[in-house]
């Protein structure tokens, strides 16, 4: 890192390390159970070990990192049953967001959701599961944002961060994108119809399908 780009020390350095580490875990650059060695990370991100340690404590609070007594830290492994439990919580929170989005969305936002649905359909037709997975993630995030339910949004962001590995695995499972596409298009249709009950029901149906796929 060029000298002028160094993040400095203290809170600025910790935030720099926190952002970089979080993004690396969410991209899948750091695998579940991978050891996180403070000296190596400090050198990689040009910060002190103290900054790395503080960032790891924050990531442990977010559920992304596991700190093991006398053994340091590692990327936390989320079991299938825990992923199911998290998805059950998502059903309530994302259903709420979809219902609110159906009422709050502007015409421009409704068009944006339709465009996302069309892009998802194209990705499935073209056999591009990772493109579809990214659009899937974007759709859910956009619905949360449109809802304006900030408490639910913050809770969901924390929950969803723990599901990254499982999301990638499901995206690559043969036939899964085709099945989930129909569920996502139903969510979009209900929100565009400004039907909050149907929107919530569509989200619950979709996430029940996710749970079935996780357990398969």
| Class (C level, CATH) for 80-215 | mainly alpha
E runs forming strands in 86-128 = none
* High-pLDDT (> 90) share of the chain, %: 62
What's the pTM value of the predicted model, to 2 decimals? 0.76
Helices then strands (H, E): number in the chain?
A: 10, 3
- Reported as a single tens digit per residue, the pLDDT across 155-181 is 998 888 888 778 777 877 888 889 999
CATH of 3-75, one of 1.10.3720.10, 3.30.1490.20, 1.10.10.10, 3.10.330.10: 1.10.10.10
**What pLDDT, in 10s, does the model give residues 101-127?**
999 999 999 999 999 999 999 999 999
Exposed/middle/buried for residue 81 (C-beta within 10 Å: 0-12, 13-18, 19+): exposed
Q: What is the pLDDT of residue 7?
A: 58
CATH 1.10.10.10 domain extents, the chain: 3-75
* Cβ neighbours for 32, distance < 8 A, ≥ 6 positions apart: 75, 76, 77, 78, 165
């Amino acid at each position: 890192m060029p000298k002028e780009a160094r993040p400095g020390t203290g809170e600025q350095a910790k935030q720099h390390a926190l952002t970089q580490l979080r993004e690396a875990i969410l991209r899948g650059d750091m695998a579940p159970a991978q050891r996180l060695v403070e000296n190596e990370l400090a050198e990689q991100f040009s910060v002190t070990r103290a900054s790395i340690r503080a960032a790891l404590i924050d990531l442990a609070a977010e559920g992304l990192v596991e700190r093991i007594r006398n053994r340091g830290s590692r990327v936390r492994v989320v079991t299938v049953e825990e992923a199911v439990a998290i998805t059950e919580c998502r059903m309530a929170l994302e259903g709420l967001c979809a219902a609110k989005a159906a009422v709050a969305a502007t015409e421009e936002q409704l068009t944006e959701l339709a465009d996302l649905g069309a892009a998802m359909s194209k990705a499935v037709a073209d056999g591009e599961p990772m493109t579809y997975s990214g659009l899937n993630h974007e759709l859910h995030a956009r619905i949360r944002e449109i809802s304006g339910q900030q408490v639910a949004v913050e809770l969901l962001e924390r929950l969803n961060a723990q599901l990254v590995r499982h999301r990638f695995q499901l995206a690559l499972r043969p036939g899964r994108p085709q099945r989930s596409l129909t569920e996502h298009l139903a969510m979009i249709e209900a929100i565009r119809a400004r039907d909050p009950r149907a929107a919530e029901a569509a989200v619950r149906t979709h996430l029940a399908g996710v749970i079935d796929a996780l357990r398969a």
